[in-house]
Amino acid sequence: MDGGVARALPRRALTWPLLSPFWPARSATEHGLAPTFVGMKTRNGASLAMLLAVALVGCRDIEAIERVSLDDLDTTERARIDLGQRLFFDPALSADGTVSCASCHLPSDGGDDGRRVGVGVAGQEGRRNAPTVLNVGFKQHLFWDGRAETLEEQALMPLFADDEMAADRSTVEVYLAGDPLYPGMFAEAFPGMPPTIDLVAMAIASYERALVAPSRVDAFLLGEEAALSETEVRGMDYFRSNCAFCHDGPGVGGQRFARLGEEVPFPRDRQDDQGLFERTGDEGDKMTFVIPQLRNVGRTAPYFHDGSVETLEEAVELMARHQLGEELDDKTIADVAAFLRALDGDVEPALARDPFGDRGGTVR
């Protein structure tokens, strides 16, 4: 990974065979949706469509991750992360000095804010639930509608959004140049370059890439079989057979888009936010969102793009219904939820520290 602090490892051999249940999404667009293959719920044999799907997109699965110690980074890499961490927690970057990146994405507590939707300057509520910032370096698409493709691009959008931090570019640059610490930190992180907004984005992105939080699931995938309980293993087996086509890769999601309500339409009274469609105007993109990463999902309630689901068990039940067309029994729901909670992990303690103490991001 760029930044030198995270890496995804080769996945452990799949525990489910080619002929097991396989449910790709029905819509395919240039935005990375799965190919169209209808009627692919066979359990007793591989249909032609299933075999074609595997040939085209492969058997997707979750992947183990591990982090590189901060102590192993070179001086410049560490300086950029330290600078990015200070910027991430600094509310003075916002228009009224009250909101930092950490206000909605607290690294020490799941990487989110625990609210239904984010809250910006002057108490303005946003439209969408704040995703976790932990492990965000593994994502291919950022924001629920995928409007950013890189962390550098993503870092500046909330900074200048009117309902988030509402910052002014020139005001931020004047503040950074006049601060007693920032000029020296920029000089260490970007030698010979004065503080600029572009360097702010690069530093914050470097910090965000360092927020890698391996879990007990990673230990299991790397061979430590005692890392998971029997219940968690059952949940993992179900998940890898039924959910990993979308929630795959090192982040267990975040790699592509999917339509919410693929098998059973999402309730009409919860379709005000049309996701990707609002960006593209393409009818095929209605109710299409970036597939969320599920690492640390046990700590990031409430769930879904609108923050409308309070418990992980309800989220599992609804996803099985709307995306797979299945009604799960209580035992399977409990198994899957147990596995998902085993994906929780922590970043290095130094990275979770607020450089401003009580003055930095304060939520919950």
Q: What residue ranges define each of the domains in the chain, with the CATH number in brackets?
A: 6-65+214-341 (1.10.760.10), 74-212 (1.10.760.10)
Q: Which residues are catalytic?
A: 164
Pairing of strands 6-8, 65-67: antiparallel
Q: What is the pLDDT of residue 268?
A: 86
Q: What is the pLDDT of residue 2?
A: 41
Going by C-beta distance under 8 Å and a sequence separation of 6 or more, which residues neighbour residue 225?
A: none
Q: Across-strand partners of 275?
A: 288
C-alpha 89/C-alpha 213 separation (Å) is: 19
Using H for helix, E for strand and C for coil, what is the string for the chain? CCCCCEEECCCCCCCCCCCCCCCCCCCCCCCCCCCCCCCCCCCCCCCHHHHHHHHHHCCCCECCEEECCHHHCCHHHHHHHHHHHHHHHCHHHCCCCCCCHHHCCCCCCCCCCCCCCCECHHHCECCCCCCCCCCHHHCCCECCCCCECCHHHHHHHHHHCCCCCCCCHHHHHHHHHHCCCHHHHHHHHCCCCCCCHHHHHHHHHHHHHCCCCCEHHHHHHCCCHHHCCHHHHHHHHHHHHHCCCCCCECCCCCCCEEECCCCCCCCHHHCCCCECHHHHCCHHHCCEEECCCCCCHHHCCCECCCCCECCHHHHHHHHHHHHHCCCCCHHHHHHHHHHHHCCCECCCHHHHCCCCHHHCCCCC
Q: Please write the tens of the pLDDT for every residue from 187-242.
A: 999 999 989 999 999 999 999 999 999 999 999 999 999 999 999 999 999 999 99
Q: What is the pLDDT of residue 1?
A: 39
Write down the pTM of the prediction.
Answer: 0.84
C-alpha 331/C-alpha 335 separation (Å) is: 6
Residue that has been written with the tokens 């901060």 in this structure: 70
Q: What is the pLDDT of residue 7?
A: 58
Name residues of the chain where pLDDT drops below 70: 1-59, 358-364
Name the residue among 28, 307, 8 with its Cα closest to residue 140. Answer: 8
